Chain A
Amino acid sequence: MLKIKNLKAGVEENQILKGLNLTVKAGEIHAIMGPNGSGKSTLSAVIAGNENYEVEEGSIEFEDEDLLDLSPEERAHKGVFLSFQYPVEIPGISVSNFIKTSINERRKALGIEKLSTPDLLKLMREKMELLSIKKGYLSRNMNEGFSGGEKKRNEIFQMAMLSPKLSILDETDSGLDIDALRIVANGVNKLKSKDNATIIITHYQRLLDYITPDYVHVLYNGRIIKSGSKELAHELESKGYDWITKEADKEWA
């Protein structure tokens, strides 16, 4: 589904991703871990099409199509979804209006007719139940004054509403309380199918107790320096990153 080859990207003079390779197939869940500042959010931003980052080299293919050629909205229409590490507040537009616009813009691009308001409300109710979201929140302005955890939950709610093919969850677990973590994980598991894939960026093993990844990668200094099974996450939790990053530092020295 997703093929990233030798990706080098950064801002202005500063190269952040330094030759990154990653392949994700439909039906898989990948976890990406790594120290602060290693480039995890940059990777997700580049996949989603943030124009702040410049791609110098390499390629990203999504379902055998060159993703780098597409605008952020076109990527979204193809089924790429990024749950932001820091969701943005959008004043003046309610959650329900935002989601409605987002769904219908995608439908328009795909040549499907607009979702009717009753159908939309039905779908919203369904997904709100799945994620234990209270009703009043639909009429609040998008992320405005939301607590950290509420913002993250709102990201997953949008994911559920949009049913993307590839979801990238950038530290969606940070800021969630234990119950919310379980609810969100449960939501992600329920939405999982053989046709979609998920990349989970996280610092903690905890989330992986609920969502079992097929692969765990360590991203360090702009590259994936180690990949393994879910046991790798346990190992990282007890040993930290030192033992692999030192090796990588030596190799590049």
Chain B
Amino acid sequence: MGLINEIKNYSDKKNLSADKRSALDNFLENGFPTIKDEEWRYTSLKKTISGKYSINAVGRDVTKKEVEKHSLGLKHKIILVDGFLISKPEIKNISISAYSEFISNTNEALEKLNYSLAKNGYTISVHANTTIEEPIEILFFNTVENNFIQYRNIITVGDNSQVKFIEKIQNIDCDNVFVNSFTHINCESNSKLEFNKIQNNTPNSSLIDTVDVFQKKDSVSNINTLIFGGKFIRNNLNFEQNGTNAESNMNGISVLNKNQLADNHTFVDHKSPNCRSNEMYKGVYLEKSKGVFNGKIMVREDSQKIDAFQSNNTLLLSEDATINSKPQLEIYADDVKCSHGCTIGQLDKEALFYMRSRGIGKEEAQAILTYAFASEAINNITINKVAMLAKKLLINKLDVDLDHNI
């Protein structure tokens, strides 16, 4: 029983290429990571993988109405249903196509699994010297209940090019879907990328999302991760700076309740001198929710003049909520500016009293202060529609009566 057996059955029946077969064998040797793995210490996959799943099953079409309902309403939309590309915009100097096979050199079990099972995903290439003003929306719809599905995506942002994406995974008429997504991003010289991930799927959904970003000189990449919905979320966000004057920025907001778990593992590998990284993660944990943050920054021996900043600030709003937050700095160069901070707190009492004395009920006051806490990270989002959505989701989740348009 369990997912691992389903995977075995599936692999026995399929004709896999030699590379894929070996990757799968490699995965099966140890199976899914457990809490005995240092990188998974606080994040147990046990429940998620004990369910009954089909593998890479394909369901029904998605209607125009459904797309509209879940879209941010942007002009450029890439739509995938159960992992298959079904619609793409025509944009000058961008090529967009369906899944194409590519090998990544990571050693992660879930990447190996992804590689061996993947059939789905997108390939986007922004040609050199191209600036795309309008953000591109990428919508992944899942329609099959109890499905385990891989997305395998690759993006290349050409020399001197600029582009912005918003990615969202949405279950329709189904809830228990487990997505294992892997995205490889190449930021070529002097390119600029903004990538927004909206993780607000249905209450029983599970997601493991790995993004590896490879940056060349003078490139800037901004990755925002907004977590609101879903039962189990693990994000692995890795940057490799392979050229001078590269900049990697990350913003994260997690607002969780019930039994939700969200784990953000980030890693910035400063392999070249004169680079920067900037990381701000904020978490609000209600009820029995659980947060994990692990921020690794590595500055290699010859990477002088690195400026790295990291913060993870957390509000724990219930006795039962927990957070495990761990900065992990490995610095082998000597001329480096590196700072990190982590706060775990409750709400400011003076501010609460001030608001209550103005007639604002305790819960409402708490919600407003929480909103203020989280919105600091939202303010770093440059796409207005994304910022608005984030505010709306935040307000809904906190159940507060605020007009997010003001």
Contact = CB atoms under 8 A, between A and B. Distances in A.
Interface stretch (A101-109, A177-185, A187-195): A101-109
Grouping DSSP codes into helix (H, G, I), strand (E, B) and loop, the B interface class, with mixed when no group exceeds half, is helix
Most buried by B among A84, A98, A101, A105: A101
B353 interface: yes
Interface in B332-391: 348-351, 353-362, 364-365, 368-369, 371-373, 375-376
A71 to B, nearest CB: 7
B401 interface: yes
B359 A106 contact: yes
Contact of B368 (A72, A87, A93): A93
A117 B403 CA distance: 11
Given A73-B361, A88-B350, A91-B372, A101 B401 contact: yes
B356 A49 contact: yes
B402 interface: yes
A48 to B, nearest CB: 5
Interface in A35-66: 48-52
B406 interface: yes
Contacts, number: 89
Given A88-B354, A96-B406, A105 B361 contact: yes
A92 B376 contact: yes
A71 B362 contact: yes
Interface residues of A, number: 36
Interface in A65-113: 71-73, 75-77, 81-82, 84, 87-94, 96-98, 100-106, 109
Contact of B356 (A72, A92, A103): A72
Interface residues of B, number: 27
A52 to B, nearest CB: 7
A252 B278 CA distance: 62
Contacts of A77: 359
B353 A50 contact: yes
Nearest to B359: A76
Nearest to A80: B357
A133 interface: no
B46 to A, nearest CB: 38
A72 B351 CA distance: 13
B146 to A, nearest CB: 40
B402 A97 contact: yes
A109 B348 CA distance: 24
A145 to B, nearest CB: 14
Contacts of B349: 52
Nearest to A103: B359
Given A50-B353, A51-B353, A87-B354, A73 B406 contact: no
Interface of B: 348-351, 353-362, 364-365, 368-369, 371-373, 375-376, 401-403, 406
Closest 10 pairs between A and B when the two form their complex, measured CB to CB: A92-B372, A76-B359, A72-B356, A88-B354, A106-B359, A102-B358, A73-B356, A92-B375, A97-B406, A91-B372
Interface of A: 48-52, 71-73, 75-77, 81-82, 84, 87-94, 96-98, 100-106, 109, 139, 158, 162
18 contacts: A48-B353, A51-B353, A73-B356, A73-B359, A81-B358, A82-B357, A88-B351, A89-B351, A90-B351, A91-B372, A93-B402, A97-B403, A97-B406, A100-B406, A101-B368, A101-B402, A102-B358, A105-B364
